[in-house]
Each structure stands twice: as C-alpha cells, then as structure tokens.
Chain A
Amino acid sequence: MMYPKPPALSESRRAFLRGIPVLTAAAAIAPAPALAADGKHHWAMLVDTRKCIGCQACTVSCIQENAVPEGSFRTVVSTYSVKLTDADQPAGTYMLPRLCNHCDAPPCVPVCPVGATFKREDGIVVVDGDRCVGCAYCVQACPYDARFINHETNKADKCTFCAHRVDAGLLPACVETCVGGARIFGDLNDPDGELRRRLDAAKAEVKVLKPEQGTEPRVFYIGLDERFQGKVEGQGTLWQPRKRHG
C-alpha cells in the first residue's frame, strides 16, 4: 500500500528551515520594541497586578541577569494571603511585584554624599559603582525598601531597569520573562508605544506606591489594592533570606 507523500509538510519544513537565518538576522538587527522612534526616552514600567501569577520568574531572571548575590533581591513578587468575605473560598492570594520605582523625585539621589547615585537623562536611577562608598544613606532614604548593600561588591545595589539591556535595545530581564505579561516596559515619551497607550487607556486605574511620599514613581500599577499601596498592615512573613553580612 502506497502512502502519498505529504508534500505540504516537507515544503513547509523546508520553508521554515530556510527562514531560520532570516529570523535570526532579523532578531539581531531589528529595533527593540521598547525603543521609541525619536527623541529623548523616559523609561517607565507598568505592572498589571491582575495578570501577575506570582511565579517569581522575574525574580529569578533578574538574579541571573544581574548576578544578584544569594539572599538579596532587586525585584521580588511580594505575595499575600488575604482573607475573603465575599467568596466561598476562605482566602485569596494577592501578588505585588516590587522593584526600584525610578522616581522622578528620587529621595535616594540628594542624600548620596558623593554623588554616586543619579538619575540618567532617560529616567533610569543608577549607582556609579566606582564612586559609591557604601554608606547606605540611599538605602535608608528609599521609601520602597528597593535598595540594599551588595555583599559581594560592598556597594549600594538596586534595580537598574536592566540599563545595560535597555541601552542595547533589549527589554529588562523581568519583562522578558514575565509569564503573565504583567510587566510592560516602555518610553513615556512615545505616544504610540504600548506603555503610553496602556497607561492612557487605564488612566483612572493607574496608581503608584506611596504617592504621599511625593517621589513621583515611574513604576505604575493597575489593580493596586490600596491595602498594599503603602506599608502593608498584616502578619509578617516568617521566611527570611539566609543572613549574611560581610
């Protein structure tokens, strides 16, 4: 019995294989989706908490990308068990991805005694590791507990929006790996960009953490429950990263 050869499959496979170099080349030279076409960038992030599934892929990819030492975190998804009164199940889970808010009025910058921490023209707040003295004044000044002393470098450390990736036209590692598509990174100055469009569309729902601090965060949230907007009132987590100080 003769089985007819399925020509469509082999042709499509051939077409696919032929296409690989083209795809690869295109990926290498294509402009990053995060980049605005022209003008100055003002990088920001929108976190849609409704889409976060609390998988911590962002946490892990950030650690991998930025060689964050064990026990320290530049980003983490704070997870809370919340008692429910209006549902059959007794409790639900609330996920809140946290990171440096890259504030437009960053309280960490003016306190730095050596001018090591600064806001770049594109809005990213960074630390000049060659200048930092590790005094930790910025760690104290940050209202979001986003900064820490890196025990491998003995300098202040924090999320940089993966500035090295952004400068190369890539997305921050946490955005790239977000399973639920909860993190949208982009240019506030790009009116056609996804970030701007999403922010404009959800205008009334967009919130920031601790707005009363006047820091003008550039990490925005959709679905931010006001009970989690400031310091959370609740029972503290029992888990702590391994203590190490040196």
Chain B
Amino acid sequence: MNADIVETVNVAREIAWLPWAVQYFFLIGLSYGAFLVSLPGLVFRRAGWEGISRLALLAALVCGLTAPVALLADLHQPARFWHFYAYFTPTSWMSWGAFFIPVYLTGLILYAWLAYRPLLARHADEGGRLAGLARRIAYGGHESRNALVAAALLAFVGAALVALYTGVEVMLVRARPLWHTPLLPVQFFVTALAGGLGLTLLFNRGLPGGGEPGATRRMATALAATQFVALVVGGLWLALGLSGVSPTHAQALAEVAPSANWQVSAVWAVAATVVTLLLAWKRPASGLLIGLLALHSAWMMRWTIFIGGQEVPKTGAGYYSYQLPLGPEGLMGIVGTVGLWIFLFVVLTTLLPLDRLGKAGA
C-alpha cells in the first residue's frame, strides 16, 4: 500500500452477486461433481461402486434441484427469468447457461428415474413409506439399460456444459484480475468434484454401520487425488503471480496479498486441503471428517472468490467491507437454500431410503 495517498472521498460499491450466487455455484458444483461419481457404478458397472454411485446420484439430484432456486433468487428481478429464453444473447455465457441448466437437469432427472425405478418398485412392494407414490413413480419398475445410458449421456453433456459455463462466465470478467484466470474453471471443477465426493461420503456414513469400508476407501482415494490436483493448481496460480510471467495473476496477487483477511483465507484454504489430502490418503476410513472437510473447502473457495473478490475495488483504494446481512439477501438466503435442500433430501429419502440405495449390488 502506498502510504502517500489517502482516499478521502469515494463510493463504496455494494456486493452485487449475493450469497445466493455462492450457494448456486456451490450446489450446482456439488451436483455435477456427484453426478460424475454416479457414473462408475451405474453406467460403467464397476465392481464395488454400485452403492456409492446410487448415493452419489441422490446427492446430484438433491443439489441439482436446489441450485436453480438459489440462482433465480440472486436475480434482482426473479420474475423476469423468462427473459433469458425470450432474449437469447449468444455473446453472453450467462445466456448460454440458461439453456445448459435445463439440459443438465432434464438428463439428470431422467437418468435418476431410470436408475431408481427398480428400487422404487421394490420399495413399494415391500410396503415402504409412501408406497403408493413410489409405485406410481416406478411406473412398472423396469430396468431399461439403453435408456439409462442415453439419459446419462444427456446428463453428462449437460454437466460438462454447466461446468464449462460456470467457470468461463466468471473467468471472462477481465475487470476482476482475481477472477480473470484460466485456472479458475479448473479450480471450480476440482473443488466441485471433491465436494460431490464429500457429500457422497456423508451419505455413505449415514448408512447402517457407517457404510461399507471398501466404498469409503475408494472414495477417500479419489478425494485425495482431487486435493492433490487442487494443491498443484493453487501452486501454479501462485507461481504465475509471484514470477510475474502473467500480468493478470501478478495483479490479482498484488490486490489481495496486503490484506490480512486474504492472508488468513489463503492459509486456511491450503491447510484444509493439505489436511484433507493427508487424512484421505493415510486414514481413508475417516469418511465423515474428510467428507465434511471437502464440502467446507468447496464452499469456502466459492465464498472467497465471489464475496471476497467483490470486496476488491476496481478503481478505488483499499477494500470494501462486507458484513453478511441477516435478511434474505444474506444469511436467510443461505439458510433458505439449506432448508430447501433438507426438504428435498427428506422427500427423496422417504421414497428411496439411504440404506436401500447404499446396498452393494442391490
């Protein structure tokens, strides 16, 4: 900081992408991350992954259904969401995103329905809760392998497009050096996949007996790999910034390095990633802890990028200070999305109890 200049009059711009946006990027990331975890067992039929993959698909579904609500709430004119479809603007990645989300969700819902049909029928036959509804949704309970693969393919295309647009949309904002890095989409993707694994680990832990040890170990190995990649990407970002090879990275680093808040965030993020990596690698049975850590890192990363990033003035000196408001534009927004998530989780696990999903080879 240059002590020779003191800003005496200027405007502090408010945060324009609210905590709702953090929730959206977090939930949609968890959703496509968990969707990817669902593929080995359900589509590729890899031994030992069936239970995990069914649990991951539930995670993808609950998060995928909650995320668009958070996105809608982040609009200051939510009732005008139809403008996205009436006034398509090909130059805007956000405009494309409005079309990618339905592609992903349509594929995901179809894929989940086709994957869960036999289980829903069994749930109904065994007289489980809401058996009537389960029977209706099961619609015969047939297993349709080809349709399932086709739906998974559609969801995969949608997930890839969603992962791409959510990263690129932010990366393109040249006005914010912190966002304007090609590493950002990679960081979003890696932490999303880790978060998807983390949530699946939590579901796995919720099974009677704490889940199958083999499944926990396999996910822990995958999680360790994501944490390693996250550290490499973070190290690359830092190297680009410190060496001055890339002016954008150097500028981003110069903007945040003097701030004590940012220093704490950086140390926190690295420490959390290292701890998750070590635990997942050395103590793969600690499923609950590493799952929570991975979820926490995925959320913290997005909070820091979005809210922290908006605290850096584009022209003025110093930093804008943000305090989380308690109303719908702040804390209640976060609580609201969590509430909706829990509601959907309760509804879905009433029809498809976790222990039914998690049974290996069921």
A interface residue numbers (CB < 8 A to B): 54, 56, 73, 76-83, 93, 98, 107, 109-116, 131-137, 139-145, 148-149, 154-155, 209-210, 213, 227, 230-237, 239-241, 243, 245-246
Contact = CB atoms under 8 A, between A and B. Distances in A.
Contact of A239 (B9, B81, B97): B9
A74 B326 CA distance: 28
A243 B12 CA distance: 10
Contacts of A136: 16-17, 76
B77 A155 contact: yes
Contact of A131 (B8, B87, B98, B313): B87
B95 interface: yes
B14 A133 contact: no
B2 A233 contact: yes
Interface stretch (B152-160, B172-180, B349-357): B172-180
B314 A143 contact: yes
A107 B321 CA distance: 25
B146 interface: no
21 contacts: A83-B3, A111-B173, A112-B89, A113-B84, A131-B87, A133-B75, A134-B76, A134-B80, A140-B17, A142-B314, A213-B175, A233-B1, A234-B3, A235-B1, A235-B3, A235-B318, A236-B313, A236-B319, A237-B316, A240-B321, A245-B18
Interface residue SS majority, chain B: loop
A145 B315 CA distance: 7
A79 B16 contact: no
Q: Which 8 A-B pairs have the closest CB atoms?
A: A236-B318, A134-B76, A234-B5, A136-B16, A143-B175, A110-B91, A113-B95, A83-B4
Contact of B11 (A76, A80, A93, A131): A76
A235 B83 CA distance: 42
Contacts of A131: 80, 83, 87
A221 to B, nearest CB: 13
Interface of B: 1-14, 16-18, 74-77, 80-81, 83-84, 86-87, 89, 91-95, 97-98, 169, 172-176, 179, 255, 310, 313-321, 323, 325, 327, 329-330
Interface residue SS majority, chain A: loop
Given A79-B8, A80-B5, A134-B75, A232 B173 contact: no
Contact of B318 (A107, A140, A237): A237
A135 B12 contact: no
A99 to B, nearest CB: 11
Given A234-B2, A235-B1, A236-B317, A79 B9 contact: yes
Contact of A114 (B3, B84, B173, B318): B84
Nearest to A142: B175
A235 B7 contact: yes
Given A113-B95, A143-B174, A148-B16, A234 B7 contact: yes
A155 B79 CA distance: 12
A240 B330 CA distance: 19
B62 to A, nearest CB: 25
A57 to B, nearest CB: 14
A79 B9 CA distance: 5
Contacts of B84: 113-114, 133
Given A113-B92, A136-B16, A236-B7, A155 B76 contact: yes
Contacts of A56: 9
Q: Which of B2, B8, B13, B76 is the most central at the interface, judged by chain A CB atoms within 10 Å of its CB?
A: B76
Nearest to B77: A134
Nearest to A77: B9
A63 B6 CA distance: 26
Contacts of A210: 315
Contacts of A234: 1-7, 317-318
Contacts of A149: 14, 16, 76
B316 A232 contact: yes
Contacts of A148: 13-14, 16
B191 to A, nearest CB: 20
A140 B12 contact: no
Contacts of A76: 9-11
A222 B330 CA distance: 42
Q: Which of A54, A80, A142 is the most central at the interface, judged by chain B CB atoms within 10 Å of its CB?
A: A80
A83 B314 contact: no
Contacts of A78: 7, 9-11, 315-316
